[in-house]
Amino acid sequence: MTQPTTPTLIVVAGPTAVGKTAAAIELAKHFNTDVVSADSRQFFREMSIGTAKPNAEELAAVKHHFINSHSIAEPFSVGDFEKQGLALLNELFKTHQYVILAGGSGLYIKAICEGFDDLPTADPSIRERLNLELEEKGITGLQQKLKQVDPDYYKQVDLANPQRIIRALEVFESSGKPFSSYRQATVNKRPFHIVKLTLNLPREVLYNRINERVDIMVQQGLLAEVRALLPYRHLNALNTVGYTELFDYFDGKTSLDKAIEMIKQNTRRFAKRQLTWFRKDSSFQWFQANETDVISQMINKAASVSANNITD
């Protein structure tokens, strides 16, 4: 009799607003399993509208993990996610042959699927100096520094997130090696098979969906959510698209219309960087999210991995 030898992790990736949540839920229903979020902002309980979390109906449809699991006040790094995520998968695979890992944060997906080299410990004075430069001169100079010393990471990182940029620069200044070189480590062998599925849409369609989603977020109360978070704006979790632009509005630096337009523009740029990240990984299988049978295609691809890993 044949039976699967090893459980399978099904990754559902893609740019923001492409439809990952709906696809992940459909796959989880088919395989009778749970969804683990790999979205670096949906972990945080205080950030809901601006992070486009699954709604109550979607959360009730299948069990989700790493949604509302942490507070913005808790330090939570990609290394923490790797450790906690692998421990969770170890438990889930005791009762499930498949688990869905869904999200658009390539770094967090890589953490679960491959892991990282150990990053060097930076001198605290380097971070203090870079933070002072950010405060006094703004983010543009730091962005240009990163472009010069690590063009690969520059093309992929969320350029609106100063802490990500500062982290990459302090690694470079501490080691003399670009941050991206530490993310090209020998893949750590995981005790599960992995199939990576990526959703995409024609650019015009995707960008229209992003613009519409931002308008819906505003209608749902994004301004009130961001206003309530003003006392915590210094926290790393809030250095992200959808929040920093509205902080500028509340500071009187820009109009509301301009802030909303900047959210749309920065989200479109972020989606472009997400696609660049996933395209660099040849193990991803690509699917068009607007095809009527896309879920069936994804299910068949995921099932074939398990079928190819059975033993008599």
- DSSP, res 206: H
Mapping DSSP to helix (H, G, I), strand (E, B) and coil, where does residue 179 land?
Answer: helix
Token duo for residue 15: 């740019």
Locate the domains of the chain by residue range: 3-116+185-311, 124-182
Alpha helices in the chain (DSSP H): 20-31, 56-61, 78-92, 106-113, 124-137, 139-149, 151-156, 162-175, 179-182, 203-220, 222-228, 244-250, 256-279, 294-307
Residue 151 annotated as binding site: no
Q: Which of 44, 39, 80, 102 is nearest to 237 (CA)?
A: 44
Options 3.90.550.10, 1.10.1840.10, 3.90.1580.10, 1.10.20.140; CATH for 124-182 is 1.10.20.140
Instruction: Please indicate if the annotation marks 15 as binding a ligand.
Output: yes
Strand ranges across the sheet with 193-200: 64-65, 35-37, 98-102, 8-13, 193-200, 284-288
Q: Is 302 annotated as a binding residue?
A: no
Whether 121 has a binding-site annotation, put simply, is no
Element (H, E) at 99: strand 98-102
Question: How far is the C-alpha of 126 from the C-alpha of 268, rounded, in Å?
Answer: 32
Question: Is 22 within 8 Å of 29 (Cβ atoms)?
Answer: no
* Blockwise average pLDDT, block size 10, the chain, 312 residues: 73 98 98 97 96 96 97 88 96 97 94 80 79 85 93 86 87 85 70 96 98 98 98 89 96 97 96 93 96 96 75 38
- Measured in residues, the chain has a length of 312
Strands 98-102 and 3-4: unpaired
Query: Any known ligand binding at 17?
Result: yes
The four Cα atoms 87, 98, 282, 22 give a dihedral, to 10 degrees, of -100
pLDDT computed for residue 57 by the predictor: 96
Q: Which amino acid is at 21?
A: T
User: The tokens 């309980």 sit on which residue?
Assistant: 45
How many other C-beta atoms are found inside a 10 Å radius of the C-beta of residue 113?
A: 20
In whole angstroms, what is the distance from residue 62 CA to residue 80 CA? 24
* Second CATH level (architecture) for the domain 3-116+185-311: 3-Layer(aba) Sandwich (3.40)
Structure tokens at 273: 């960087």
Whole-angstrom distance, CA of residue 250 vs CA of residue 307: 55
Residue 176 counted as an annotated binding residue: no
**Rounded to an integer, what distance in angstroms lies between the CA atom of residue 137 and that of residue 119?**
27
Asked if residue 222 lies in contact with residue 50, where contact means CB atoms within 8 angstroms, the answer is yes
The single-letter code of the amino acid at 263 is I
| Residue 126, both tokens | 């380097």
Give the H or E element holding residue 10. strand 8-13
20 is in an annotated binding site: yes
73 is in an annotated binding site: no
